[in-house]
Amino acid sequence: MKTHMKHILIAGLFLLALAGSSALAQIRVTKSAGTKSGIDLTGIQAAGDQASALFMTTLREDLVRSGWFTITGRGQGQFRALGSVSLRGGSLRVECQLYSTAASRALMSQSYDHAANDARRLAHRVADDIVYAATGRKGIASGRIAMVGNASGHKELYLCDADGGNLVQLTSDRTVSIAPKWSPDGRQLLYTSFLKRFPDVYLVTLQSGNRTAIANYPGLNTGAAMSPDGKDVALILSKDGNPELYVKNLRSGRLTRITETPRAAEASPSWSPDGQRIVYVSDQTGKPHLYAVSRSGGRPERLPGRGSENVAPDWGRNGLIAFCSRTGGNYHVMVLDPRTGETRQISSGYGDFEDPSWAPDGRHIVCSHAQNYRSRVIILDIMGDTPVALTDYKGDWMSPAWSPE
């Protein structure tokens, strides 16, 4: 069997594994088998202008970052891209065909036309199309990451591309803004802000900049996460005398109380991919641990977790729950398969790794890494690639959330 076929097969197995029952075990198998294919980009003829050059650099970096490729020299590698990049007026035109060395038929053949001053964004799109054509998986380059930064002296929300570029400050409220979470369509962000002096939950529509308070009850309003169908929000409220988990319907405004734990606090809800269950944090045993409950309430089930504390869960669309576990005095990112109870530690090294959020490929995880009291945002790979720092900007960066697309 030709090598690249083997690689595609492995990628396919990986996909199947994620849909099957022991995804974590399969990830290990896949990892040991090796997952990277060589790709030869020398067949793309790029013009000499700045925008075309920036496009090519970004494309190369994105393909490496995807985790599936190494860039090879001419005539090497299992994949070969042909095409052209040129500037016409204010527009960058890209032609791209992707071939595997095994078959003569193109795996992909696309034309692009995009504003030249946005060459990086176009490169992200092309990179994701190549990843999809070669592996059948969603890429991560076109996604965006929302996070909290304090460089201005206040905690404000920021957005950046998946490679850390194109940083935009979203709020300028000069108060405390925390805990951003994406809507499932990637058009809105939910977060908690002290804009009106108390912690309230806001919903921002990114394109219009329109912002509405969706929970400003007496006491605490925080931890909001939108259901996969976009109709409900799970959140933590204390209006009835104690922090508890609720579900609020966005259209009717109706509130359903999910937990009733007068002796405990709840935090950090996240929805299962089918929207039927919610994973959250509760300290009813005296320490915070993970629980899962039906979206309509009922008896919560304690989930296994290794550490003395298990917090900040993010239930990915691959069915796996990324969370943060306190082990040996530090916080590390773990991944739990709730169907088998198997848990694996993903982060390693010195410092605290917190607030994990799945990338759309179900392979990468963005999280914060605090070391010597400085916090930055990094990207982890559950298949073992070296972590990559996302933020190299001044100030502390935390609570990242990867957009769904």
Residues near another protein (CB under 8 A):
155, 176, 178-179, 192, 194, 197-199, 216-220, 222-223, 236, 238-243, 262-263, 265-268, 281, 283, 286-288, 309, 311-312, 324, 326, 331, 354-355, 373, 398-399
Helices (H), 81-193: 119-135
Minimum gap (Å) between residue 288 Cβ and another protein: 5
Helices (H), 280-386: none
152 CB neighbour count, 10 Å cutoff: 13
CB of 328 to another protein, least distance (A): 14
Structure tokens at 395: 């100030």
Q: What is the CA radius of gyration of the chain?
A: 22
Pairing of the two strands 374-381 and 91-100 = unpaired
Query: Of 344, 251, 325, 247, which is closest to residue 287 (Cα–Cα)?
Result: 325
Q: How far is CA 118 from CA 86, 203, 213, 296, 402, in A?
A: 14, 28, 33, 45, 21
Residue 174 or 287: the one with the smaller Cβ distance to another protein is: 287
Closer CB to another protein, residue 43 or residue 395?
395
CB of 14 to another protein, least distance (A): 30
Cβ 195 to another protein shortest distance, Å: 13
Q: How far is the CB of 281 from another protein (least distance, A)?
A: 6
Residue with tokens 């991560």: 140
Residue with smaller CB distance to another protein, 145 or 324: 324
Nearer to another protein, 59 or 267 (CB): 267
The whole-angstrom separation of Cα 314 and Cα 316 is: 6
Q: How far apart are CA 277 and CA 273, in angstroms?
A: 8
State the distance between the two ends of the chain, measured CA to CA, in whole angstroms.
Answer: 34
Residue 6 or 239 having the CB closest to another protein: 239
3-state secondary structure of 8: helix
CB closer to another protein, 263 vs 394? 263
When the beta carbons of 216 and 345 are compared against another protein, the nearer one is 216
| Shortest Cβ 199–another protein spacing (Å) | 6
| Residue showing tokens 């804009």 | 195
Beta strand extents in 258-320 (DSSP E only): 266-271, 277-282, 289-294, 297-302, 309-315
- Shortest distance in whole angstroms from residue 155 CB to another protein: 7
DSSP state of 136: S
DSSP 3-state of 319: coil
Nearer to another protein, 67 or 307 (CB): 307
Q: How far is the CB of 326 from another protein (least distance, A)?
A: 8
